[in-house]
Structure formats: structure tokens, C-alpha cells
Amino acid sequence: MKCIINRRAQFSASHRYWLPELSEAENQDRFGACARAPGHGHNYVLYVAMEGELDQYGMVLNLSDVKTVIQREIIDPLDFSHLNDTWPELQTTLPTTEHLARSMWQRLSPHLPLVNLQLFEHPQLWADYQGHDMEASLTLSTHFSAAHRLALTHLSYEENCEIYGKCARPHGHGHNYHLEVTVTGDIDPRTGMIADLSKLQHIIKSQVVEPFDHTFLNKDIPYFAEVVPTAENIAVHIRDLLQAPLAVTGARLHKVKLIESPNNSAEVYGS
């Protein structure tokens, strides 16, 4: 019987986004604060997913052996380093989160049966890599606060309460929504990016966060005048709002995940 196991590791390192063929002004325009010398740092968290058959001891792999491999191949060379000066591929291609995940895969895959590497640069930005040549995924996490009411206009209050319970109360209720947007694309061999990160952040902010934040969705967002703003419907609408704008960045919208509360979330996928 096959099983997937995960091992967590962490390290601290700095990096800088800077291309010598560009002028200082061009680097600043393209990479913003990330271009500042001598660089900036992160506490990286890495999740290594591996798949295999259970052995006679009930294990896919001995986790002590896994820890040794990750320590030798990843942690020892990168912890407390300036990433631009470490591995050769990080000297020719900028050490973005997605490119760093790909580089880690190349070092770990000869030793471990990998199925996914997930690298967090910080809690609101992480990359996934699954060994598909230059293709990687990048996830941006953000949040907004909004109120909503779950009710169908053609039903009575009592009928709506039968369907939606307390969520049908007339004055609505609010949530601190957490939004995760995942895009997929090919890593640029020079910049290390699948898309311009600042553009991605701007699109998500302008299309979703600013219009939705501190609103009563049923009244302030025209789409929900006729559509009940369940977590599922909100996620679908966010996907539809982001699909075309994100396409111009060169990346494809892969998934939208909306977390309404610690107990409820919805996921929808791009076309």
C-alpha cells in the first residue's frame, strides 16, 4: 500500500533581486524593495512530500535518514547564507521562491521519492514544485473583512432559515476572509519568476481586496444582488474576476481558496 509522508525543515537566508544587465533605476522599477543592497532575509520553511510503499516496519522511509539527506543537501549549504552566492544555478537565475524550490528538487530527487516540494518564503507567499521541468506554482495569501447574508429573495424568512439557519438573519454577519490565489507557469531562466510578483499582488488587491474589504457583500458587490454569497459562490466570483487580469502576467490561474472561518473553506480551479 502506498502512502505519502511529509517532512518539515527550516532555514534562514538572505537574497537580492538584481540583474547586472539592468540599470539601478530599471532594477528598482522591476523588483522594488527586493533590489535594495545588500539584500533582505527570510525564515524559510520547507515541506518535503515523499511517496512509497509501507515496509515491514510500517514506514515509507526512515525519517532519520530523510532528515540526514535534507540536512546535507539543503540546510547545511543554505542556512545563514546569501542565496545569490551559493549554488551555481542561483548565481545565474535569481533565487526566487519558485526557482529555489526547483533547485532543491534537483538535489533531493536522487535520494528521496519526491512528489512535491512546498517552500514558504513567508506565511503569505509560497511555491510548489513537482518535478515538471520549469513549471512551478506560486501562492499568494491575503485577507479581507466583509459581511453577508445567506438568503434567497423569492423565499420567506422562515424558508430561508430552514436552508441557511442563523446565516439568514436579516442584518447579516461578518467574517475575516482569508484568500489564497495560486498561479502556475514556467520559471523564467533569468529572473527565476513565473510572473511579476508585484503585478500579481496589485491585481489581487485591485480586483478583490479593495472592492470587497469592509463591505456588505449582498449590497455593495453587484454580483451578489442576485447570487447568494456563500463561500463557494464568493470563491467562484473571485476566480472569474482574476482569470483574465492574471493571464496577462504570463501565469495561469490555477486555484482560488477562500477560507471563511477556521471550520469552512471553498476551493475552485481556473479553466
Confidence of residue 81 (pLDDT cuts 50, 70, 90): very high
In the predicted structure, residue 54 carries a pLDDT above the cut 80 = yes
Mean pLDDT of 130-137: 97
pLDDT in tens, 214-264: 999 999 999 999 999 999 999 999 999 999 999 999 999 999 999 999 999
CATH 3.40.50.10490 fits 1-131, yes or no: no
d(C-alpha 247, C-alpha 195), whole Å: 10
pLDDT for residue 125? 98
Nearest to 136 by CA among 112, 118, 113, 122: 118
pLDDT for residue 209? 98
In the predicted structure, residue 43 carries a pLDDT above the cut 90 = yes
Residue written as grid cell 510503499: 53
Mean pLDDT of 51-61: 93
Look up 260 and say whether it is catalytic.
yes
Identify any residues that bridge with 140 across adjacent strands, giving them in sequence order: 125, 181
Cβ atoms of 13 and 78 closer than 8 Å: yes
C-alpha cell belonging to residue 153: 429573495
Q: What is the CATH number of domain 132-271?
A: 3.30.479.10
Nearest to 102 by CA among 91, 111, 89: 89
Cβ atoms of 121 and 97 closer than 8 Å: yes
Confidence of residue 271 (pLDDT cuts 50, 70, 90): confident
pLDDT in tens, 176-217: 999 999 999 999 999 999 999 999 999 999 999 999 999 999
Look up 3 and say whether it is catalytic.
no
pTM of the model: 0.94
Q: Give the C-alpha distances (Å, rounded to integers) separating 156 from 161, 163, 217, 223.
A: 9, 11, 20, 21
Q: Cβ of 267: how many Cβ atoms within 10 Å?
A: 15
Out of 111, 143, 167, 178, which one is annotated catalytic? 167
Asked whether this chain's domains 1-131 and 132-271 adopt the same fold, the reply is yes
Would you give the DSSP letter of residue 80?
Answer: T
d(C-alpha 206, C-alpha 141), whole Å: 14
Out of 98, 121, 180, 260, which one is annotated catalytic? 260
Q: Cβ of 37: how many Cβ atoms within 10 Å?
A: 9
- Average pLDDT across the chain, whole number: 97
Q: For the chain, what are the domain ranges?
A: 1-131, 132-271
Nearest to 250 by CA among 179, 188, 181: 188
Confidence of residue 1 (pLDDT cuts 50, 70, 90): confident
Higher pLDDT, 1 or 13: 13
> DSSP per residue over 156-225, as a string?
-HHHHHHHHGGGG-TT-EEEEEEEEEEEEEEPPTTT--SS-HHHHHHHHIIIIIHHHTTEEHHHHSGGGG
Mean pLDDT of 59-78: 97
DSSP-derived 3-state class of residue 50: strand
Nearest to 167 by CA among 228, 106, 111: 228
pLDDT for residue 65? 97
Residues 228/230/236/241 CA torsion (nearest 10 deg): 70
Look up 226 and say whether it is catalytic.
no
